[in-house]
């Protein structure tokens, strides 16, 4: 078997509103797949719209307690880190700044799940909207989030919205949104925020990670070095999803290393050859 990256720094358990997976099952799956370092990144999406009946708040003390017990239980077999995925909206910057300072996170992902308060995950988002205009608006809101808030370690699944468009990525390319994507990538580099390579795009049938290879290549050309990697798994079978191809893919995009975080500090690891 080809060597795979042995870290997964984006995964959810039942502490996230959209996962039923016991934390221990996620850990056992990671061990079984040969991973050496994983980070839980449970969802907190303050002010997520209530009409979908999903609660994206997180009981952080209970999450920390479970994390602490299990990370100690398995400490001889795998390194486990304490992370969070923040569902960003520009006006929430003060809330999230306070929140992440109050808890001992190793790693914070900032993600755009909402466009003007609506989640494109739900089909009604695209009703009456032009797909390209919706994608463009999604990218504009990433810039707005980055102008309001810089304290995340990595920006999650940069082109998340193409998972859910009526035509997904069939009409989508870096070129089509190059101006705004370049602005985003330059801003990440200037602020020292990592770009995440999220392998769940393969799970959603895109045939590519989020963001797509063209964006990863462009980030590298612009001087971007901090690249984090995760499956965005919500159940044990998703852990390290598509990792058999991701090492070679990232190397072909110009990367030799990727990054994990411990106590909010980046650490570089070589990509397997």
For residue 128, count CB atoms less than 10 angstroms from its CB and return exposed for 0-12, middle for 13-18, buried for 19 or more. exposed
* Piece of the chain touching Zn ion by CB under 5 A; list 55-63, 77-85, 161-169, 247-255: 77-85
Supply 5's token pair.
């990256």
Task: Say how far apart CA 236 and CA 72 lie, in whole Å.
Answer: 20
One character per residue 81-100, x = contact with Zn ion (rule: CB under 5 A): ----x---------------
Query: Among residues 232, 250, 260, 271, which is the contact residue for Zn ion, using CB under 5 A?
Result: 232
Distance in angstroms between the alpha carbons of the first and the last residue of the chain: 12
Of 153 and 232, nearer to Zn ion (C-beta) is 232
Query: Among residues 7, 111, 112, 169, which is the contact residue for Zn ion, using CB under 5 A?
Result: 111
* Piece of the chain touching Zn ion by CB under 5 A; list 109-117, 178-186, 221-229, 259-267: 109-117
How many CB atoms lie under 10 A from the CB of residue 252? 11
Task: Say how far apart CA 70 and CA 227 lie, in whole Å.
Answer: 27
Per-residue CA distances from 214 to 11, 168, 172, 217, 267 (Å)? 24, 16, 11, 5, 25
* Piece of the chain touching Zn ion by CB under 5 A; list 105-113, 144-152, 186-194, 251-259: 105-113
* Piece of the chain touching Zn ion by CB under 5 A; list 29-37, 59-67, 143-151, 230-238: 230-238
Smallest distance from the beta carbon of 210 to Zn ion, in angstroms? 9
Smallest distance from the beta carbon of 164 to Zn ion, in angstroms? 12
Which residues form the interface with Zn ion (CB under 5 A)?
Answer: 85, 111, 232
């Amino acid at each position: 078997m080809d060597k795979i990256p042995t870290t997964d720094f984006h995964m959810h358990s039942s502490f996230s509103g959209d996962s039923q997976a016991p934390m221990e099952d996620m850990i056992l799956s990671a061990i079984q797949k040969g991973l050496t370092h994983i980070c839980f990144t449970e969802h907190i999406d303050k002010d997520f719209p209530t009409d979908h009946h999903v609660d994206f708040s997180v009981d952080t003390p209970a999450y920390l307690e479970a994390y602490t017990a299990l990370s100690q239980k398995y400490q001889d077999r795998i390194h486990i880190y304490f992370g969070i995925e923040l569902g960003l909206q520009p006006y929430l910057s003060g809330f999230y700044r306070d929140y992440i300072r109050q808890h001992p996170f190793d790693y914070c992902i900032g993600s755009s799940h909402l466009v003007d308060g609506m989640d494109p995950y739900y089909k009604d988002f695209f009703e009456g909207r032009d797909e390209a205009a919706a994608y463009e608006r999604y990218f504009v809101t990433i810039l707005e989030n980055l102008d309001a808030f810089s304290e995340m370690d990595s920006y999650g699944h940069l082109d998340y919205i193409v998972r859910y468009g009526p035509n997904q990525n069939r009409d989508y390319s870096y070129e089509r949104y190059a101006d705004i994507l370049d602005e985003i990538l330059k801003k990440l580099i200037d602020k020292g925020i990592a770009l995440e390579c999220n392998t769940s795009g393969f799970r959603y049938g895109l045939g590519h990670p989020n963001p797509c290879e063209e964006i990863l290549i462009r980030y590298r050309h612009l001087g971007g070095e901090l690249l984090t990697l995760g499956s965005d798994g919500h159940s044990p079978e998703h852990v390290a999803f598509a990792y058999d191809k991701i090492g070679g893919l990232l190397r072909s995009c110009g990367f030799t290393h990727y990054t994990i975080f411990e106590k909010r500090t980046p650490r570089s690891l070589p990509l397997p050859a």
